Amino acid sequence: MIRFEPREHVSPLRRIAAPVIAAVAALAVASLAIAAAGAPVLEAYGLMAKGAFGSAFAMSELLARATPLIFTGLAAAVAFRAKLWNIGGEGQLYAGALAAVAVGTGALALPGPLLIPTVILAGALAGGLLMLIPALLKVRLGADEVVTTLLLNFVVILFVQMMLEGPMKDPMGMGWPQSEPMLDEAMLPKLMDRMRVHAGLILALVAALGVHIVLKRTVWGFETRAVGENPEAARHAGIPVTATFLRVALLSGGLAGLAGVGEVAGLKGYLTADLSPGFGYAGIVVAMLAGLSPVGVVVAALFIAGIFVGADSMSRAIGVSNYLADLVVATSLICVLVSGLFVRFKVRFVRVGTGKGAA
């Protein structure tokens, strides 16, 4: 049978090796899928690399795609640290986007320097408050937050559809269910001429740094980790467990909400109900690849964004379905779980019944 012995010291190299091995393993599994589709594997990977990194345009697309993934990755990382299973990043992203268009399309007459912060704040608040519902249901009524956050995703997207076909529908939208366009003054500036990468990326990097500092250097961060490791022990140590959960919920939902703000105020300029191709769920993979480290989230988001952008470009060139990207993302989540095991534990295969190896 297999036995796991916890390592006393996990070297930084080993820590970094886990996601790297997982990424390589996921790409290896995906190459089977490419081969099964009858496409040349090496050429497909070459095209993916070129599509993700091969030009200034590719890099801009990569960074634009990484921006929401950093936010949703941070959202998952913060929550999972406290063992608050927020799987509702997708819904919180839409809530943030909805709030951004609610204040950014002309309802508020503020000058630009005030309008942009208002839009950002509104989006973060909407995401945070949305996550507060399942968190309160958890701490007050004991309802499992995994199921409630998952189910709320569907409710929120339907709510967005309702608003886009009703009160928030763009009268000039040729009948399409989309919001009015954001005011020019409410849009996040572009970082490069004629490229899509926008200031949301800066905001995401600042958020990653901020979360890093909060988790590592503040009492809040200490309480978050303590609650995640053992809520009962934390309670005995006098840590306000419920308040910590609610704080983490607000922060996590707020970060996911910012992903939505970036997508409408940085990229699209208006809201549609197909704004996110699953950024909320991909954020979970980003967080796990990052080992729940905020700085790692940035790196992992770049990897996942590269897979998505590269697969899109490769799919256009040789016709392999771009669902390949989702397959790589899913496989890398499973692989990082397994490789993480080898980081934290020595895995021993021992024979049963010899009496040897008993601890």
Partner 1 sequence: MSDILDILLAANFWAAALRIATPLIFGVLGALLCERAGVLNLGIEGIFTAGAMAGWMAAWLGAGLWGGVMVAALAGAAFGLLHAILTVPLGLSQHVSGIGVTLFATSLSYYTYRTALPDVSSPPRIEAFQPLDIPVLSDLPFLGPALFQQTALTFLALALVVAVGFVLYRTPLGLAIRAVGDNPSAVEAQGLSVMALRIGTVVAGSALMALGGAFLTMSAFDAFFFGMVNGRGWICIALTVFASWRPGKALIGALLFGAFDAFQVRLQTEVGSFVPGQVFLMLPYILSIAALVVVARKADYPRALLKPYFKGQR
Footprint of partner 1 (CB under 8 A): 1-4, 33, 36-37, 80, 85, 87, 137, 141-144, 146-148, 150-155, 158-159, 161-162, 165-166, 281, 284-285, 288, 319-321, 323-324, 326-327, 329-331, 333-334, 337-338, 341, 352, 358
Nearer to partner 1, 58 or 85 (CB): 85
Nearer to partner 1, 70 or 152 (CB): 152
Q: Residue 358, SS3?
A: coil
Nearer to partner 1, 34 or 101 (CB): 34
Nearer to partner 1, 116 or 327 (CB): 327
CB 209 within 8 A of CB 74: no
Neighbours of 317 (CB within 10 A): 15
Nearer to partner 1, 292 or 302 (CB): 292
In terms of residues, how long is the chain? 359
Cα gap 130→24, rounded to integer Å: 36
CB of residue 217 to partner 1, shortest distance in Å: 27
Nearer to partner 1, 190 or 225 (CB): 225
Q: Which residues of 296-307 are buried (b: 16+ CB within 10 A; e: fewer)?
A: bbbbbbbbbbbb
CB 122 within 8 A of CB 100: yes
CB of residue 20 to partner 1, shortest distance in Å: 18
In the chain, alpha helices (H): 12-36, 41-53, 56-81, 89-104, 112-141, 145-165, 200-217, 219-229, 231-236, 241-261, 279-289, 294-318, 323-344
CB of residue 339 to partner 1, shortest distance in Å: 11
Q: Which two tokens stand for residue 3?
A: 């036995």
CB of residue 203 to partner 1, shortest distance in Å: 27
Residue indicated by tokens 């740094």? 209
CB of residue 126 to partner 1, shortest distance in Å: 17
Nearer to partner 1, 1 or 109 (CB): 1
CB of residue 154 to partner 1, shortest distance in Å: 5
Q: CB within 8 A of 346, min separation 6: which ones?
A: 4, 5, 6, 7
Q: CB within 8 A of 169, min separation 6: which ones?
A: 163, 177, 178, 179
CB of residue 212 to partner 1, shortest distance in Å: 22
CB of residue 252 to partner 1, shortest distance in Å: 15
Nearer to partner 1, 60 or 224 (CB): 224
Q: Which two tokens stand for residue 346?
A: 């020595």
